[in-house]
Chains A and B, each alone.
Chain A
Amino acid sequence: MVDTGVVTRVGFFVGVLVLAAVAGSFATGGSAGAAPAVNQIETPSFDANESAATAPAQTGELTMAANASGEVILIDAGHGAEIDREALAPIVTTLTENGATVQYHVGKRQGGRSLNASLREADAFLVLGAESRYTEAQLAGLDAFTDAGGRVLVMNEPAQASYGGLALFGMPRGGSSVTSPLAPVLSQHGLAYDNGYLYNMQEYALNYRSVYATPTGSSPLTEGVDRTVLYTSTPVTGSNTLLTTTDGTTLSQTRRQGTYGVLARSGNVVAVGDGSIATQEFLYRADNEQLVGNLLDFLVSGEKSPADAPQKPEPSSETGSTPGPEQTRP
């Protein structure tokens, strides 16, 4: 006879064992319960020493060599050029400290006077990022201005650049712009802007749109300049190209690689493919401040004769008694 107590106890044992096994399986969630082994994955491209980029140093001082006493520099704040006067403070301060007077042409819409009236008092004209057309009278006035020895410095941006990049002077610009509104004046001097912006995927300063440019020979405009950094610049063509981008630079419109001219001079007119180098943000990159200093020397070194070119009479649209331009005097 088997002891019923033993049978009962064996049955109890088996029952609890099965219950424990089943409960254990549920508690661990079946086969998915085991915690996965955590192996350290290799992600070489996440190595900070390998991938982390650092902001470039900003060094140098903006200085001028030429005597600017009595010179009047007119900056075009009309024609769609959204001038950030704070960003231009270093060049304006340098000009005024050297004796020049800086005026802003705001256009008649903002209560200013005509461009030709402003040019008559000016020795040099600086255009930064203009995007709307100049009237025939204004273009004729500029012709007379340069013919008389007035200096013109055009630092334009490709109109499209503001779409993808930060607009140079504030908010993105509208869509009704023209790439080079001064093309008629520039073409008379054999200068022209190309379409699109320049980039370099091989050698660049922090961003592919910040390309390097080096002097092509010796010129007062590039004296002391070893290398400059231009941001979202546009190619400039002319017979006397003084600054070209480094190898591997590509034009966005054509995707053609090569070296591109970004600064050219023809007599009293200089065209630069980038206005950002004149602003506080980009002024102290590489040798930009040296280049800008040379450009300021160029602006104040003209000999304008007659001194009041472009002379009257003007078309009726360009005449009228209106307030003068704003001035920053030394």
Chain B
Amino acid sequence: MDNPIDSRVATALQSYTVLAVVAILVGAALVPFATGVVAEDEQYVAVVNIDETISESTAQDTIQQLREVRSNESVKAVVLRISSPGGSAAASESMYMAVKRLADEKPVYTSVGQYAASGAYYTAVPSDKIYATPGSIVGHVGVIGTAPSGGLSPAATTGPDKAHRGMTRDEYYASLESMKRAFVGAVMSERGDRITVSRETVAEASAYNGLRAVQTGYADDIGGLEAAIDDAATEAGLSEYQVVYHDPAQPRGLIFAASSAQSTNGSAGSEQAPYTHRGVDSVHFLMIYGTPEEQRVVSNTTAAGGA
């Protein structure tokens, strides 16, 4: 005990403060192992419900949930239960990217309820496999633009395009076309060889029933949620697992508000648009099943808004 170091250690170990610091450091180092042991015991298939019209706020909720199931190591596979007519174009694109990111890391299977149309199909398309039932409506790949009527606002503006909602009509059409190309391109690349119709046919925006969707390669098989869960678990190599259900977003009104839409009972919804202001008209791009009535609508599809 003549060694000065030994004597200093012995002295230090007499101190409760030193003991506490060392214990906290060791305890923190053990945290990952402790949680890992817990996670290994539980393996989940997460079902994420998407049954609302897709708006920026619902997409935000769903994307947050998708991030959680992606980062949760005990979730081994994900099933999207989709029954949505689509919604906002930008929100649908965000959903697509979130699902694509998730599918890069875990098996993602989709079970279609009533609809996986337009923006909702965009959401589903990165899935490893899409199940539909004969009564499902699948596809409708296209964009609808709604433009307020009338010309220049009497209000003062700071530039010519500020008086035209930021774009000329040609640019409006160009935006519509760009979004369509991105959408159709995503469908073609994600579905790959499985899709049996041409790019031009996809761009025609047909909405297929479940049987026809399987024929055309928009969907993979006829089946319900149980089949999707079973197959997702098999894909993840799970023999025993639990299913956890998430319903991240509640149905809300749609993103555009037009006076006429408020009196209709179609798919248009009736909630005031979040980014509009009284007296200020805006352009909206929608990826949604159907065509709002009495709207000034420009579509880049033949099935939506056509005669």
Q: Which A residues fall within an 8 A CB radius of B?
A: 5, 9, 12-21, 23-25, 28, 30-36, 39, 41, 43-46, 50-56, 158, 160-161, 163-167, 171-172, 196-197, 199, 201-202, 206-208, 250, 252-253, 281
Contact across chains for A252 and B307 when beta carbons are under 8 A apart: yes
Closest to B175 in A: A53
Contact across chains for B186 and A45 when beta carbons are under 8 A apart: yes
- Interface: B70 (CB within 8 A): yes
- Interface: B296 (CB within 8 A): yes
Contact across chains for B181 and A53 when beta carbons are under 8 A apart: yes
The 5 closest A-B pairs by CB, nearest first: A45-B185, A20-B27, A160-B307, A55-B170, A164-B305
Chain A residues whose CB sits within 8 angstroms of the CB of B200 once the complex forms? 201-202
In the docked arrangement, what's the CA distance between A313 and B24, Å?
111
Contact across chains for A9 and B19 when beta carbons are under 8 A apart: yes
- Interface: B189 (CB within 8 A): yes
**Could you say which of A21, A52, A253 has the most chain B C-beta atoms within 10 Å of its C-beta?**
A21
With A25-B35, A34-B71, A164-B297 already in contact, the answer to whether A13 and B185 are too (CB < 8 A) is no
In the docked arrangement, what's the CA distance between A229 and B19, Å?
84
Closest to B169 in A: A281
Instruction: Annotate B101-145 by CB proximity to A: 1 below 8 A, 0 otherwise.
Output: 100110000000000000000000000000000000000000000
Contact across chains for A53 and B174 when beta carbons are under 8 A apart: yes
In the docked arrangement, what's the CA distance between A39 and B98, Å?
12
Closest to A285 in B: B170
- Interface: B88 (CB within 8 A): no
Chain B residues whose CB sits within 8 angstroms of the CB of A25 once the complex forms? 31, 34-35
In the docked arrangement, what's the CA distance between A53 and B307, Å?
25
Instruction: Annotate B157-177 by CB proximity to A: 1 below 8 A, 0 otherwise.
Output: 000000000001111011111
20 contacts between A and B (CB under 8 A): A12-B23, A16-B24, A16-B27, A20-B23, A23-B27, A31-B72, A44-B185, A45-B186, A51-B181, A54-B174, A55-B168, A55-B171, A55-B174, A161-B307, A164-B307, A166-B147, A206-B170, A206-B173, A253-B307, A281-B169
Closest to B16 in A: A12
In the docked arrangement, what's the CA distance between A36 and B72, Å?
8
The tally of residues in B whose CB lies under 8 Å from a CB in A reads 70
- Interface: B280 (CB within 8 A): no
Which one, A35, A45, A197, contacts B71 given CB within 8 A? Answer: A35
With A25-B34, A165-B305 already in contact, the answer to whether A17 and B23 are too (CB < 8 A) is yes
Chain B residues whose CB sits within 8 angstroms of the CB of A23 once the complex forms? 27
Chain A residues whose CB sits within 8 angstroms of the CB of B24 once the complex forms? 16-17, 20
Which one, A44, A45, A208, contacts B300 given CB within 8 A? Answer: A208
Contact across chains for B305 and A17 when beta carbons are under 8 A apart: no
Contact across chains for A50 and B181 when beta carbons are under 8 A apart: yes
Contact across chains for A32 and B307 when beta carbons are under 8 A apart: no
Contact across chains for B203 and A50 when beta carbons are under 8 A apart: no
Contact across chains for A197 and B28 when beta carbons are under 8 A apart: no
Query: Which B162-213 residues sit within 8 Å CB-CB of chain A?
Result: 168-171, 173-178, 181-186, 188-189, 200-201, 203-204
Chain A residues whose CB sits within 8 angstroms of the CB of B201 once the complex forms? 201
With A12-B19, A164-B297, A206-B177 already in contact, the answer to whether A39 and B307 are too (CB < 8 A) is no
Chain B residues whose CB sits within 8 angstroms of the CB of A164 once the complex forms? 291, 297, 299, 304-307
Contact across chains for A31 and B35 when beta carbons are under 8 A apart: yes
In the docked arrangement, what's the CA distance between A53 and B23, Å?
62
For the complex formed, measure the closest distance between the CB of B108 and the CB atoms of chain A, giving whole angstroms: 13
**B interface, by DSSP: helix, strand, loop or mixed?**
helix
Contact across chains for B35 and A30 when beta carbons are under 8 A apart: yes
For the complex formed, measure the closest distance between the CB of B144 and the CB atoms of chain A, giving whole angstroms: 9
With A13-B19, A21-B31, A199-B302 already in contact, the answer to whether A41 and B73 are too (CB < 8 A) is no
Which one, A43, A50, A207, contacts B177 given CB within 8 A? Answer: A207
With A31-B35, A53-B177 already in contact, the answer to whether A16 and B70 are too (CB < 8 A) is no
**Could you say which of B23, B147, B175 has the most chain A C-beta atoms within 10 Å of its C-beta?**
B23
Contact across chains for B36 and A31 when beta carbons are under 8 A apart: yes
Chain A residues whose CB sits within 8 angstroms of the CB of B305 once the complex forms? 163-165
For the complex formed, measure the closest distance between the CB of A196 and the CB atoms of chain B, giving whole angstroms: 6
Which one, A21, A41, A171, contacts B97 given CB within 8 A? Answer: A41
**Could you say which of B35, B68, B188 has the most chain A C-beta atoms within 10 Å of its C-beta?**
B35
Q: A9-B19, A13-B19, A207-B177 are in contact. List 14 more A-B contacts (CB 8 A).
A: A13-B23, A17-B26, A18-B27, A21-B27, A45-B184, A51-B185, A53-B173, A53-B181, A164-B305, A164-B307, A165-B297, A166-B298, A196-B307, A208-B203
Chain A residues whose CB sits within 8 angstroms of the CB of B36 once the complex forms? 31
Chain A residues whose CB sits within 8 angstroms of the CB of B307 once the complex forms? 158, 160-161, 163-164, 196-197, 252-253
In the docked arrangement, what's the CA distance between A30 and B71, Å?
11
Contact across chains for A51 and B182 when beta carbons are under 8 A apart: yes
For the complex formed, measure the closest distance between the CB of B300 and the CB atoms of chain A, giving whole angstroms: 6
Closest to B200 in A: A201
Closest to B68 in A: A32
For the complex formed, measure the closest distance between the CB of A113 and the CB atoms of chain B, giving whole angstroms: 31
Chain B residues whose CB sits within 8 angstroms of the CB of A34 once the complex forms? 71, 73
In the docked arrangement, what's the CA distance between A9 and B23, Å?
11
- Interface: B67 (CB within 8 A): yes
Contact across chains for A21 and B30 when beta carbons are under 8 A apart: yes
**Could you say which of A13, A31, A167 has the most chain B C-beta atoms within 10 Å of its C-beta?**
A31
For the complex formed, measure the closest distance between the CB of A80 and the CB atoms of chain B, giving whole angstroms: 17
For the complex formed, measure the closest distance between the CB of A26 and the CB atoms of chain B, giving whole angstroms: 10
Contact across chains for A31 and B73 when beta carbons are under 8 A apart: yes
Instruction: Annotate B277-294 by CB proximity to A: 1 below 8 A, 0 otherwise.
Output: 000000000000001001
- Interface: B5 (CB within 8 A): no
In the docked arrangement, what's the CA distance between A201 and B30, Å?
61
Closest to A24 in B: B31
Which one, A41, A158, A163, A206, contacts B174 given CB within 8 A? Answer: A206
